[in-house]
Structure 1
Amino acid sequence: MVTELPAWAVRLRAERRNRFWSKKEMARRLVAAADEETRKCLPARETIVRRIKAYEAGHNQPRDPYRLLYTRAFGTSEGELFDMPQAPCRPTLDDVFAKLPGSDALTPLPTRAGRRIGMSTIADLSARVHRLRLADDVLAGGDLLQPAFRELDAVTRLYREATCTEHTSRALLAVIGELAQISGWIASDAGRHEQAANVYLLGIRAAREARDETLESNLLGSLAYQTANLGDPQEGVTLAHAALDAAGPHAPARARALAWDRLAWAYVKVEEAEPAMRALEEARAALEQRSGEYEPAYLYWVDASELQIMEARAFTELRRPLRTVPLLTDVLDRYDATHARELALYLSWLVVALADANEPEEAARAAWRMFDLSKDVASDRTARRQRVVLDRLVPYRDVPQVREVIDRAR
């Protein structure tokens, strides 16, 4: 499923192409636009080219000094290129809650005329939410978007209209929070990113009112992950820290491991390798502390293999293919083939790592498998990774196996 690129990404690419500049020439122009002090701080030309590719693919907006360098190179204003000035990069949690949609979804009606509900209803609703999670393991966001939001609408309506005890009301709020998390994840996978963010924020509010810090951490971490990937990565770091704070030192081991895992990825997206590696170590240490404690059902998927995959993805983004390839190969050899979307996504990182390791034939083989798995998957994430894979294979298009993959994909 291919979605439209952000308007600013389209403009950056169009401005470059209108001048008949290659990405290498664009990198040279950006360096030339820098003053002497800034030029000393810029990375190698190859790194700038990779940044240009990422910007034009819509992965994240340029931050200073690159925003300023783009405006100088193109002879235009920041507003014309990026629509609006860059937002402050480190909001407080109050800033996050200020973004909540102006909805009455969690405001009970003054006079509740609906049926009275008890904990048996909560148990039934929790089971429905978990079935939706399990469905997301084997189906993509485009397949589950409508049923997920029907469930969310029904449960929030029940909260507003039904009568119940305070204990049951808090339990129902927790169900809303859990349903908001999986619905937001599904919406994000379907390419509905603004809708996903609003639903995550609704869930955070529900978790706070339910006084469920572990659930709040899970929702903040999910929002951090989307923001780091598709919005401002620095804001993703802030949100990931908030998720870690919400979990606290006494949360279940899997919850703490997941919060550290999200923080590691956010640091990867801002290209801060040391804190990313430290966060991955903390995630592993947290997971090793499991001791038969109670864990919410939504943490079922957090295990050593998932942390290994995140570590491999981090090494891929940080251009360390010799660390990535053995990690991913080990996990993928035993990964459940029914989880086609996840398997395709993880293969995409293996393709990039193999290309970085100058193994184009092996990269082409992994790409074949990735495209086969994802061809009927209604997922925006796999569509984005397909574009990343193709971009990474282009320098090897003279290799017959690679050229065949590129021609087939196009």
Structure 2
Amino acid sequence: MTSTDRRREFGAYLASLRRHSGRSQRQFAAVLCAGSGAQSITRNEVSRWERGERIPDVWLPTFAQVLGMPLHELEQAAAYARGDAKATLPGVAATLADLLPNGDALEFLAASPCGRRIGATTVEGLAARVHGLRLADDVLSGGDLIVPAFRELHAAVRLFRESSRSESTGRGLLVQIGELGQIAGWIASDAGHGKDAERAYRLGISAARQAGDAVLVAQLAGSLGYHLSNSGREREGLELAKAAVVEAGPDAPAATRALFLDRVAWAHTRAGEQQPALRALGEAHAALDATDGAPAPSWAYWVNREELEVMDARVFTELHRPLRAVPLLQDVLGRYDATHAREVALYRSWLAVALVDANEPERAAEEARRVIDTSGDLSSERTAERARTVLHRLKGFEDVPEAREVLADYGHLLLA
């Protein structure tokens, strides 16, 4: 692990402690100043610590006092960030390589014929916890959830390897491992752990294939394709997105087929292919209108017309069609659940970029400030990256006072 990785993990650790104290970055800066009698800490400085740009050595005693935790734990975490080989970081998730057995993640999982016997109730309990992780992801970010997600994945794989059960119970357990692989991969990607995300998705594909659940295989392949499309591997992402549609087949539930086609649209967009992207958007809407298919699986609960409109707007934004993107995003944001802070920040980031393309820098600057103020309290690399994208786009309007003020306040984020 590089020194930069260590400092970023240390920053994520500090951010987690601050959020668990119930304070925003601005509130935390204020209470630190009050606790030390100084007036020199700002919200921006707290943000730098949480991004791993600086180590707040002299402030650690005040941290410990404010947070009500042992000073030695913070000192150990700071030593980890500085590169001490013997130091560890409390609370940070192990990588998937640490959690899973050695070997290829695509290797078929092997069960123990002589382990403890499990039945349907065990699988039902695991399914409830998996769905709980999905619901938690609606309101929390990757950095908050990566530890419990990977613990559940590790426990589920271990249970499969060490238990005995009927064929139907084994299939149900494999399905839950597949679903866990998907949500753990999504969470890891959001937390900025790209390699762990990819391996979690691939493990999930292996489990779903063994379970014979083609729609779940497609969900995992499409999720991996989406991750690759957003990680500079656009051609691989596009091929996986298209393969997911084929894997699911024409009789897949309407919501899932719409989801998979939406991912194809995004993958074409990231690959710079405008017309195929627009065609895939239309196909996704047509798929969602179908009413005679099988019922959607529980993991597709969030796929609806509103979410398809969000993807429409994102594609239009990436294709520099602001006249189509701006009204859609404004309409969606006007109806969206404000408790889903990460999604709201992401959608506002696309709105800000679309407004830049529409030559509305004043309004774009206003949205940019909202994005950054929200994302500063989230442990999401997705929102942090989108904030940087918005700031980069505003740099073309430094002669506009509103844009210049935002860049003056937050330009340091571009150095992250």
> TM-score interval w.r.t. the shorter chain?
0.7 to 0.9
Alignment of 1:231-380 (within 5 A): 231-291=232-292, 293-380=294-381
Q: Which runs of 5+ in 2 are unaligned?
A: 6-101
Structure 1 residues 346 and 339: alpha-carbon distance in aligned structure 2, compared to 1, 3 A threshold: same
> Is the 1:264–1:280 contact (alpha carbons within 8 Å) kept by the matching residues of 2?
yes
1:102 matched to which residue of 2?
104
**1:102-146 deviation digits (Å, cap 9, x = unpaired):** 259853355532x21111111111010000000000000001001
State how far apart, in whole Å, the 1-side matches of 2:207 and 2:280 are.
Answer: 28
Q: How far apart, CA to CA, are the structure 2 residues paired with 1:393 and 1:290?
A: 44
How many pairs were matched up? Answer: 313
Equivalent runs, 1:1-400 vs 2, <5 Å: 102-103=104-105, 107-113=109-115, 115-291=116-292, 293-400=294-401
TM-score normalised by the chain length of structure 2: 0.73
1:405 to partner: Cα distance: 1.2
**Please, which runs of 5 or more residues in structure 1 have no aligned partner?**
6-99
Structure 1 moving runs of 4+ over 4 Å: 103-106
CA distance in 2: counterparts of 1:184 and 1:193, whole angstroms: 8
Q: Distance in 2 between matches of 1:246 and 1:194?
A: 24
Map Cα deviations across residues 255-295 of structure 1 (whole Å, 9 max, x no partner): 10011000000000011111101100010001011358422
Tell me how far apart the structure 2 counterparts of residues 176 and 349 of structure 1 sit (CA, whole Å): 33
- 1:207 and 1:109 map into 2 onto residues whose CA distance is 15
Change (3 A) 1:288 1:398: same
Identity %: 55
CA contact (8 A) 1:221 1:262 kept: yes
Tell me by how many angstroms 1:101 deviates.
5.6
Amino acid aligned to 2:399: D
Corresponding position of 2:58: none
Give the whole-Å Cα distance in 1 for the aligned partners of 2:305 and 2:105: 39
For residues 108 and 318 of structure 1, do their structure 2 counterparts lie closer, same or farther at Cα, with a shift above 3 Å needed? same
SS in 2 for 1:378: coil
Higher relative contact order by CA 8 Å / sep ≥ 6: 1 or 2?
1
Shift of 1:4: 6.6
Equivalent-residue separation in structure 2 for 1:110 and 1:311 (angstroms): 47
Q: Distance in 2 between matches of 1:108 and 1:238?
A: 29
Shift of the alpha carbon at 1:207? 0.5
Equivalent residues of 1:105, 1:156 under 8 A apart: no
**Secondary structure of the equivalent of 1:295?**
coil
Distance in 2 separating the partners of 1:364 and 1:213: 45
Aligned pair in 2 of structure 1 residues 110, 174: CA closer, same or farther (>3 Å)? Answer: closer
Question: In structure 2, what residue type is equivalent to 1:252?
Answer: P
Distance in 2 of aligned mates of 1:230 and 1:335: 27
CA gap of 1:109–1:211, structure 2 versus 1, over 3 A, is closer
Aligned to 2:261, the other structure's residue is in SS state helix
| Distance of aligned partners of 1:360 and 1:134 in 2 relative to their CA distance in 1, 3 Å threshold | same
Partner AA of 2:374 in structure 1: L
What is the CA deviation profile of residues 146-190 of structure 1, one whole-angstrom value per residue up to 9, with x for unaligned ones? 110000000110000111001110110000000000000000000
Cα distance in structure 1, aligned partners of 2:4 and 2:262: 29
| TM, length-normalised to structure 1 | 0.74
Cα distance in structure 2, aligned partners of 1:166 and 1:378:
40
Q: Distance in 1 between matches of 2:107 and 2:233?
A: 28
